[in-house]
Structure 1
Amino acid sequence: MSAGTDPIKLMKQEVGKAAANRVQSGMIVGLGTGSTTAYAIEFIGNRLKSGELKDIIGIPTSFQAEVLAKKHGVPLTTLDAVDHIDIAIDGADEVDPQKNLIKGGGAAHTREKVVDAFADQFIVVVDSGKLVEKLGSTFLLPVEVIPMALAPTLRAIEKLGGKPELREGIRKAGPVITDQGNFVIDVKFNTIENPAELEKALNNIPGVLENGLFVGVADLILVGEVQEGQPVVREIQ
């Protein structure tokens, strides 16, 4: 099977396209991070090139989103320069039935949360494998920590019942460094009974910048599935 007909890739493209199609001319758009969102950025760029869209400005959530936007001709600005964001498009590592999320697989969750929460509408693009009954069941919870606070933060997270581990770089000796210059701790919780309370408790630890729980932020989930070899996109409102 060639890459062109890879059903998973096609499905990610379809979800990205479905999100990009919700962008209208004149909008300020939050551009998320990750493989599915990358297709959304590409399709927004295609719609701009064809003249179907005009006057779009993007707010990137990561260096990756910034590079992709420039590559596909999506003009960029910063949060300082705008007073609102019309729509944000971003992926997730887990989505529960209440539309709560765990994000941060790409270590960009702090900037993502700022942009996604600020947006009038936040659209999440995922494949059906990201849907879970309970958050934390398949994915560790990322927590961004300033380097000087690493040791006390690890101890504080253990007191909350988590098993924390410093995220190490792949093809890099030492820890992953975020776009803000901080560390990421991945935390295993046996069960996350109350995501809203845990989100607050973690962020109250001195030295924690932000964690990957996104509670009550998502407005629409676009879920990509492969049915009988064909990509299908369904909506969870």
Structure 2
Amino acid sequence: MTSRAPSDEHARWKRDAAEHAAEWVRSGMVVGLGAGSTADFALRSIASRLASGALFDVLGVPCSRAVGDAAARLGVPLTTLEAHPVVDLTIDGADEVDPTFALLKGAGGALLHEKIVAQASRREVIVVDASKPSPCIGTRCALPVEVVPFGWRAEALYLESLGARVRVRSGASGAPFRTDEDNLILDCELGPIRAAHELSRRLAERAGIVEHGLFLDLATDLVIAGADGVRHLTRADEGART
């Protein structure tokens, strides 16, 4: 087993990946603002370029209330999908990503809004540090499943019938975590998810399941930063750029 890099090094990798992707933001764009620590570096880079005048006429669609609050504090103008239903470019993070660009997301609890924005985006750019790529999603992370509070135990039993070890996510106070839509998150340990599309279909059939953290066929670009620098992979050409 390899040792983990120091936290400051991981933070630098996250910043490098995010700032690389933020350079693709152009004046006049509607930009999806992802949630999470890596996407936050991209938000700060966009804000800095707006403040310096290098960018102008950019509107952000935040993927969570917290991201919207942060963007407002940094001076990034905001809009909504109701006003701008097509997003030019979204920059977001991921908890795990496999070689086919399948993603596992939702550790921060914003998976529903993140997926809605991703589906509305012409280009979905995922920025990660070198610890996030995985041979198969689910290998390292539990799958978050967002459920309505009514009848959540029935959904937990269903998830257990699929082989998951299920726990209700807790918030900072110890009470159940609530999403921006006031739903619950069930974190499901499944191990490597080798039939992700089939699992996605089965989860979608359940009325009480609002959304899940399988992001399939959505990412167009993957930016990975690590000790060897920054790599840019695209689903279109499966190539790499620096």
Normalised by the length of structure 1, the TM-score is 0.93
Contact map agreement 1:69 1:75 (CA 8 A) in 2? yes
Q: In structure 2, what is the equivalent of residue 85 of structure 1?
A: 87
Matches within 5 A, 1:18-167: 18-167=20-169
Matches within 5 A, 1:200-211: 200-211=201-212
Cα displacement (A) at 1:118: 1.1
Q: Summarize deviations over 1:144-199 as a string: whole Å, max 9, x none.
A: 000012111011111222221111123x1321111110100000113311111111
Percent identity reads 38
Q: In structure 1, what is the equivalent of residue 180 of structure 2?
A: 179
Q: In structure 2, what is the equivalent of residue 234 of structure 1?
A: 231
Contact map agreement 2:164 2:189 (CA 8 A) in 1? yes
Counterpart-to-counterpart distance in 2, 1:6 and 1:151: 40
* Secondary structure of residue in 2 paired with 1:201: helix
Counterpart-to-counterpart distance in 2, 1:161 and 1:64: 33
AA aligned opposite 2:207: P
Q: Which ranges of structure 1 fall in alignment gaps of 5 or more residues?
A: none
Q: In structure 1, what is the equivalent of residue 225 of structure 2?
A: 224
Counterpart-to-counterpart distance in 1, 2:227 and 2:69: 29
Where do 4+ consecutive residues of structure 1 move more than 4 Å?
none
Q: In structure 1, what is the equivalent of residue 3 of structure 2?
A: none
Counterpart-to-counterpart distance in 2, 1:35 and 1:213: 19
AA aligned opposite 1:225: G
AA aligned opposite 1:169: G
Normalised by the length of structure 2, the TM-score is 0.91
Contact map agreement 1:125 1:221 (CA 8 A) in 2? yes
Contact map agreement 1:123 1:221 (CA 8 A) in 2? yes
AA aligned opposite 1:195: A
Contact map agreement 1:8 1:226 (CA 8 A) in 2? no
Q: Count the aligned residue pairs.
A: 228
> Cα RMSD (Å) of the superposition?
1.3
Q: Which ranges of structure 2 fall in alignment gaps of 5 or more residues?
A: 1-6, 235-242
Cα displacement (A) at 1:37: 0.5
Counterpart-to-counterpart distance in 2, 1:157 and 1:113: 21
